[in-house]
Amino acid sequence: MTATNHSSTDDLLKIFDSFSIPSECIIPEQDFAFCERQQELLYKTLDGIRRWYDIFHEEVSKYAENHTLSYKPDGTLTFREHYREQNSVSPDYTRFDFKPFEVINSLIMQRKNAICAFAANIIRYFNGKYSVSVPGPEMDENIPLDFRPVYTDYTNLVIRHLQGRGFRETAEEEIISRFHILVKHYRSSNPPELKSDKIIFQRLFCIAESYHASRPAYRLDYGQDKILDTFCEGILFGSRTMLNGNSKIIQDFNYLDIDISRWYSLTFAYGYAIKFYKNRRIDVRFPDAIKAKNCFERLCLNNLENSIN
């Protein structure tokens, strides 16, 4: 038997590790079209800001004699007027002149905001379309004046987040993870329970009494609507393997006026419903026990304790 050359094998593995997956293999062409359009619109805005910046920059130079002027790399202007003793006989009205110092700095702030919005829009687009959770980029506080971002800087963040997986696979893993974090954080000592055609979640949402003239009424506590979106996202995926779920799947639901006496139908298919309780319990009802079990297993609720650290 021939001995294996571990050194050669390691070198070969390093070669494979150095290969990068072309972004075109993961990101569809229409997504690149969106990014290119965003970049085109950004550059138009940056060009307009730069034109005004150059005009006011030239104007500022006229005040160099009576002011100490200094520019940072991002184009921000710092300024200090030299002390001048006022002549009471022949007063100087130049103190009332328009000085575009703050305008210069306002333009730089607008420029920075435009670049940050561009980066956020690219990431938000992919997160919204594919139900993934790519974190936003960390932006430099002092963006150089001549810096012009390219969309690939941010699509590469998406590629790295996927770690070689597809959008669908990544989204499914993240939806389940978010659902587990939610359920484990709020459930106290009671895990979700599969009971015939229902899944029962204990102590999940904080429900408070809400004033209503004709009947007792309840509402979700402040901020709980976002938690409900995460919950409904998981239920929709667990039930129908559909992405992009939120509380809009609850028919006729108003989180400021919850009727705890009724079942709310879910809009995505017949036979699915949800019910809220004053004691923070929430039940999800399915058309039959098999569909309830399928959702329970798809969301890995039978292995909840080991799902996350």
Picking from 58-67, 228-237, 289-298, which range would have the lowest pLDDT averaged per residue? Answer: 58-67
Whether 308 has a pLDDT exceeding 70, the answer reads no
Mean pLDDT across the stretch 90-103?
Answer: 70
Choose between 48 and 58: higher pLDDT: 48
Q: How many residues does the chain have?
A: 309
- Per-residue pLDDT tens for 1-54? 344 444 444 444 343 344 344 444 578 889 999 999 999 999 999 999 999 999
- Per-residue pLDDT tens for 124-141? 999 999 999 999 988 888
Q: Give the model's confidence band at 284: pLDDT under 50 very low, under 70 low, under 90 confident, else very high.
A: very high
User: What is the value of pTM for the model shown?
Assistant: 0.76
Q: Tell how strand 273-276 and strand 198-201 pair up.
A: unpaired
Whether 253 has a pLDDT exceeding 90, the answer reads yes
